[in-house]
């Protein structure tokens, strides 16, 4: 019985060790070159927001009416975010359905 547990623990330890990154930072079976980000179809067609005239950090003007200022703290330039002022409201609850909002790119 103890022998089976020792064998199972050894196999589990070997499996976990094979998943761990090597000490020099490269992957075990491949090159250390970075993989490029996948191309998003229609990325160029998503409108770009505009920086606020007063230069506030992490604030972008939406390209959609009513041209609200959106706080984009935590996002990087080029990321795609939604404009919550363009989201539709759920008729039953009155809450916004955020996945219906229009999207824009951060400058």
Do 64 and 77 meet the contact criterion of CB atoms below 8 Å apart? no
Sign of the CA dihedral running 56, 58, 64, 66: negative
The answer to whether the predicted template modeling score (pTM) of the entire model surpasses 0.85 is no
Q: Of 93, 53, 72, 91, whose CA–CA distance to 103 is shortest?
A: 72
Compute the average pLDDT of residues 24-52.
73
Taking every pair of Cα atoms in the chain, the longest distance, rounded to a whole number of angstroms, is: 73
Compute the average pLDDT of residues 50-61.
92
Residue 1: the pLDDT is 59
Does position 87 have pLDDT exceeding 60, yes or no?
A: yes
Give the count of alpha carbons within 13 A of 28, CB side only: 6
């Amino acid at each position: 019985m103890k022998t089976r547990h020792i064998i199972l623990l050894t196999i589990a330890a070997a499996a976990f060790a094979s998943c761990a990154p090597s000490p020099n930072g490269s992957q075990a079976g491949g090159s250390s070159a970075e993989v490029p980000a996948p191309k998003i179809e229609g990325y160029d067609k998503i409108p770009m927001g505009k920086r606020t005239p007063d230069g506030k950090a992490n604030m972008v003007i939406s390209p959609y009416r009513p041209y609200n200022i959106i706080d984009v703290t935590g996002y990087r330039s080029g990321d795609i975010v939604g404009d919550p002022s363009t989201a539709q409201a759920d008729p039953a609850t009155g809450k916004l359905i955020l996945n219906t909002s229009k999207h824009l790119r951060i400058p």
